Amino acid sequence: MSLAETDPVIADLIAKETVRQQDTLEMIASENHASHEVMEAQGSILTNKYAEGYPGKRYYSGCGFYDEIEQIAIDRACQLFGCKYANVQPHSGANANFAVQLALFNPGDTFAAIELSNGGHLTHGSAVNVSGKWLKPVTYRLVEDESRSDWGYIDFDSVEAVMKEHRPKVLMCGYSAYPRTIDFAKFRAIADKYDALLWADIAHVAGLIAGGAHPNAFPHCQIVTTTTHKTLRGPRGGLILTDDEELSKRFNKAVFPGSQGGPLMHVIAAKAVAFGEGLKPEFKTYSAQVVANAKRLAKELIDRGYKLASRGTDNHLILIDLRPVDAELTGKTAAVWLEQVGIIANMNTVPNETRSPFQTSGIRMGTPALTTRGLKENDIAQIAGIIDRTFRSKGDQTTLAKCKQDVLAICQKFPMKHA
């Protein structure tokens, strides 16, 4: 029997969500559209098995095929990112980060990361997260002086000052809302100077690294964590990478039995499929187009009077400061208007933020999902015009309705391939 027959309520909601995705433009920088093959693996019979442990060292019988699948995922991940060791079991990027913290730190230990409002992540030391409750984060910032050409970039003077004052065990780089290239080599030089390990959370740029559109974190970083969705276009999950055998052993123990039980083998199979896709030549073309599309989006919005964090982008995302165009428009309201017209984005804090994280003065947007649908620079220019009209509409429903029709036309021109 089908799901529609046995549970029509859930089947109907899935069908409605499929239509929603088809008829909207996904511009949340951390979201993407996985391939049919990735979803096929994730929805497979592999979900039925417990496989605690690692390949060749399971606590349950009947894991032979699962050992092969997980080893393929490990091997492909190492090939994709140019490293020696990979743990493919973390259920999410947050789980991967927690496992690293569990392996490296004792309660109260110090680590350095960027301030959350400057583009960090909850797991990088937020007070409401275990990383901030259990550990002692010290933070560096972006360049704040708008008269400088590098305004909005990482302030390496701030990084050095924090490292010199606090001497943390670990220096973190990698961000959830940073539109510029990460200089891993420069971070490593500072980490070495103060006898710290360098840890990169590349969750946002992993796919760009895999596709050659962003510098690799290896060999500069001893520890690398990432999600497997976002720009990598796989299933939702996490990944820990390293070149250090001893660190690898510690991370494995921190994942299982330290912080997780049975691995999600159906998700690991989907990760293996996604890593295989990332190794294909066409993924390089895709990654380059993601960046080209983001750069065009940035240019079009700047030309229309918008202020972007760091004045542009090198990667897949932009941060729009709404205040120069409309001092009263909050990120929260702007996100609501965008959703009304069929563009999905998220409110976000911006440099020199004056509002709370629940209102914000900015919007974060990205191009991974649009690029998956096949859009290119000229299509992005059209979308930028719709975004501008939406923001300047003052919520006028006639304007928003017209924008919605324009968005729907783009969606129909570029249908989702895998829905």
| CB contact set of 324 (below 8 Å; sequence gap of 6+) | 305, 306, 307
Is 5 in contact with 390 (CB distance < 8 Å)?
Answer: no
Q: What amino acid positions are annotated as catalytic residues? A: 50, 52, 201, 227, 230, 236
- Cα diameter, the chain: 65
Two structure tokens written together for 343: 């563009």
- Cβ neighbors of 159 (< 8 A, separation 6 or more) are 112, 140, 171, 187, 190
Torsion of CA 352, 354, 367, 33, to 10 degrees: 130
